[in-house]
Amino acid sequence: MADRAVYKSTAAEYLDDLFGGSPEELEVAYQTALDLLDSIGDAPLTEAVSRLVDDGDLPSEAIENSDSGWRAGQRVDQVIRVGYTEAMQLALARDEPLPIETIWVTGASDDFEIHICEGKRCIIVTMFIPLNRSYGSSNANARSWVVRVDDEVDAGDGEVPVAMIQTSGADGSASAS
């Protein structure tokens, strides 16, 4: 099984909730977030998360582990700060603000990176996490899958064996054909 996965984490879902809604709600959310980032200066992003939790804009679980593991450190904070600032500015530059969707990719890069894709209906922020780990998140609500050739199965009859493996969300059942 490959060590890379594309999926939603609970942290990505918190961001999706924060940066989702009607155009009017988005305009307020983005301006509030940009003002908050400006107000904390070079403080760790956990300061911004704590304020959002205190104001009721994020659930208290959002603060858990936000400053440990791969997320710890000024370099990651800087990349997240610049990446989301750019994503919010792109979202606000439309006639009506677009929502921001966040996904994580693990095992595909040695460095933490954010990639931003400006789509027709949303801005997609992809976080490349420099971590090899088992597939995805069972705590996320969003379900995602990887579909790939399964070299471990001999399908016979010239058929290409394909595996579909759930990478996030509840009910982590997998199927193969």
Q: Are 117 and 124 in contact (CB under 8 A)?
A: yes
Most confident of 20-24, 47-51, 69-73, 135-139: 20-24
- Range of lowest pLDDT (64-68, 120-124, 138-142): 64-68
Task: Examine the pLDDT at 70 and tell me if it is beyond 60.
Answer: no
| pLDDT of 16 | 92
- The residue extents of the domains of the chain are 5-135
DSSP reduced 3-state for 6? strand
Q: Are 24 and 170 in contact (CB under 8 A)?
A: no
DSSP codes of every residue in 65-129: TTTSGGG-SHHHHHHHHHHHHHHHHHHHTSSSPPPEEEEEEESS-SS-EEEEEE-SS-EEEEEEE
Instruction: State mean pLDDT over 63-67.
Output: 63
What is the residue-averaged pLDDT of the chain? Answer: 81
Give 134-155 pLDDT, tens digit per residue. Answer: 555 666 777 777 777 877 766 6
Residue 33: φ, ψ to 5°: -65, -45
Which residues have CB under 8 Å from 128's CB, separation 6+? 105, 108, 109, 111, 112, 113, 114, 115
